[in-house]
Amino acid sequence: MSITVKFFARLREQVGTGDVSIDTAKNVQSAWDQATNGMSMPDNTLCAINMEYVDSTEAVSDGDEVAFFPPVTGGCYAQ
């Protein structure tokens, strides 16, 4: 088993890849550290496990999909 780590939008560009596979991680922060080779996580980063929002302290299990992305900006931008 392994853990799939995904990056979206600006984070994908900063990390340089959209998809990384790692062997194991104790939590979301640890998955980030391994997948980015120790880059610091931007303060406003949102995290998800298996497509549900979680905190960076959340535990990760084998087979999970962990995702990192910036604040979301969908919809219109009309005031």
Partner 1 sequence: MPSEIRSKAFDPWKETQDYQCNHLSAGKYGATASFVGTMRDFNQGDDVTSMTLEHYPGMTESYLDKICDEAKQRWNLLDCLIVHRVGDIHPNDPIVLTVVWSAHRKEAFDACRYLMEELKSRAPFWKKEGLTEGHRWVDKNTPG
Which of 4, 5, 6, 15 forms a contact with partner 1 (CB under 8 A)?
6
Say which residues have a Cβ less than 8 Å from residue 78's Cβ, sequence separation at least 6: none
Say whether residue 55 binds partner 1 (CB under 8 A): no
Instruction: Choose the binding region for partner 1 from 8-16, 24-32, 33-41, 54-62 (rule: CB under 8 A).
Output: 8-16
Whether the Cβ atoms of residue 46 and residue 70 lie closer than 8 Å to each other: yes
Within residues 16-45, the interface with partner 1 by CB under 8 A covers none
* Cα distance between residue 14 and residue 51, in whole Å: 21
Residues of this chain that interact with partner 1 (CB under 8 A) are 6, 8-10, 46, 48, 51, 53, 67, 69-79
